A = this chain, B = another copy of it.
Amino acid sequence: MTASKHQTEIAADPDLPTIRIVREFDAPRERVFRAFTEPDLFAQWNGPRSTTTRVDRWDCRTGGNYRYAVVLDGQEYCFYGSFHEVRGVERVVQTFTYEDMPDGVSLETATLEDLGGGRTRVTMLSVLDSMQARDGLLASGMEVGVVEGFEKLDELVTELA
């Protein structure tokens, strides 16, 4: 598997308890949006390569909710939340909780920009309630899941072409 030609930027804001992730994909926005919002597709690219994702609930519309498990060596790590807003093919706002840390909640906004020429930029903003919670999320190893997940997403949108 060759490294992706696109870099994933993961930036912690110096002043706000937020994380901003920016990534481009060589695929039209509609296709990237499908990969973010259809459960069978989401399960194919989410998380590190060493894991699989099992979607338990997925009602991806404004006011809907979801739950999924990331499985690593038989261990399950479960996540749940609500879809606050699903707007066209351009924006998904959702809440996110890791079930083993039930008091932690982040608000995640994914924005998909059509760059023309069949290219799409995805910006994901995570907002937490303290710098400590934000730094804890960054230290959790989320980076490998994001980077490897987006590499799998590169492959998936190519297959879907």
Contacts and interface: CB of A to CB of B under 8 A. Distances in A.
Contacts of A105: 84-85, 93, 107, 109
Given A16-B129, A64-B65, A105-B109, 18 more contacts: A15-B15, A16-B130, A16-B131, A62-B65, A62-B80, A65-B82, A81-B84, A82-B95, A84-B105, A85-B97, A85-B105, A93-B95, A95-B95, A95-B107, A105-B107, A107-B107, A107-B129, A127-B127
Contact of A129 (B63, B84, B102, B125): B125
A53 interface: no
How many A residues are at the interface, by size bracket? 20 to 34
Interface string A82-120: 111101000001010100001001010100000000000
Interface of A: 15-18, 57, 62-65, 80-85, 87, 93, 95, 97, 102, 105, 107, 109, 125, 127-131
Nearest to A106: B107
The 7 closest A-B pairs by CB, nearest first: A82-B82, A63-B65, A84-B95, A107-B107, A127-B129, A82-B84, A93-B105
A63 B82 contact: yes
Contacts of A102: 85, 87
A79 to B, nearest CB: 12
